[in-house]
Amino acid sequence: MLRLPVFTFLTPKTIDEAIGMMVDAGGDASFVAGGTDLFPNMKRRQQTPRTVISVLSLPELRAVRGNATEGLTLGAGVLLSDLCADPLVTATFPVVARTARLISTPLLRNMSTIGGNLLIDTRCDYYDQTYEWRKSIHFCLKKDGDTCWVAPGSSTCSSWPPRSASRSRSVTTRPARASGTRSNIAYSRSSASTGAANRWSASRPW
């Protein structure tokens, strides 16, 4: 059984408090929402924050607001299962609810947030392995090693998310272009869209 490392767990009551805790931790910290991505990664020592700051119960992050004309703003802390059933989302942008329903399983959706879904650590077969497995191949460029095993001639990891994508708070769903039958999803920071595109680049099927 893989065990979590020892870490400090903080539960802020507001976004400002959460940001203050992150600043105080001096960079050696990570936010966590549902933990469905971060905690398995910590067990495999892919991510090793000494402080974990929970944003799961911040009410400010649970909001869904907007309308069909101007678009919706989805809080980063909205659970995927809530997104599937949200009356405003299903009435205005049903494709968003339907898409969320396609993610993983009910158990995962009950715990996962949309913010966490956008910011999961990128997948790679040479990286999503236990510490001992990764050590046996001398790790890889993304963490602790100096070779990319997907593209050994490469000096960069094609599974690496842009760092600027890792702090967004909300996703804005803009209204459909012409007919109202299609929608554009724009992330609150423009570079996050690159992150979403990259996320699956060296990935395996779920």
Ligand X SMILES: Cc1cc2nc3c(=O)[nH]c(=O)nc-3n(C[C@H](O)[C@H](O)[C@H](O)COP(=O)(O)OP(=O)(O)OC[C@H]3O[C@@H](n4cnc5c(N)ncnc54)[C@H](O)[C@@H]3O)c2cc1C
Q: Which residues bind ligand X (CB under 6 A)?
A: 30-38, 55, 61, 76-77, 103-104, 108, 111-113, 115-117, 119-120, 167, 206
Cβ closer to ligand SF4: 38 or 150?
A: 150
Query: What is the nearest approach in angstroms of ligand X to the Cβ of residue 10?
Result: 13
111: left (phi over 0), alpha (psi -120 to 50) or beta: alpha
Binding site for ligand SF4 (CB under 6 A): 124, 126-127, 140-142, 148-150, 157-159, 202
CA distance 29 to 52: 6
Out of ligand SF4, ligand X, none, which partner does residue 55 contact, by CB within 5 to 8 A per kind?
ligand X
Comparison of 177 and 200: residue with beta carbon closer to ligand SF4: 200
Measured from the CB atom, is 158 or 188 closer to ligand SF4? 158
Cα pseudo-dihedral 13, 14, 18, 24, rounded to 10: -90
Q: Residue 14 CB: number of other CB atoms within 10 A?
A: 11
Q: Which single residue brings its beta carbon nearest to ligand X? A: 116
CA distances to 17, 90, 103, 160, 180 from 72, in Å: 26, 11, 20, 29, 14
Tell me the C-alpha to C-alpha distance, in Å, between residue 206 and each of 41, 104, 123. 16, 8, 10
> CB-wise, 90 or 203, nearer to ligand SF4?
203
Q: Looking up tokens 């994508």, which residue turns up?
A: 165
Q: How many CA atoms lie within 13 A of 8 on its CB side?
A: 10
Rounded least distance, CB 198 to ligand SF4, Å: 10
Q: How far is the CB of 154 from ligand SF4 (least distance, A)?
A: 7
In the bound complex, what is the minimum distance in angstroms from residue 104's beta carbon to ligand X? 3
- From the list ligand X, ligand SF4, none, pick the one residue 81 interacts with, judged by a Cβ distance below 5 to 8 Å according to partner type: none
Considering the complex, what minimum distance in angstroms separates the CB of residue 116 from ligand X? Answer: 2
CB 73 within 8 A of CB 114: no
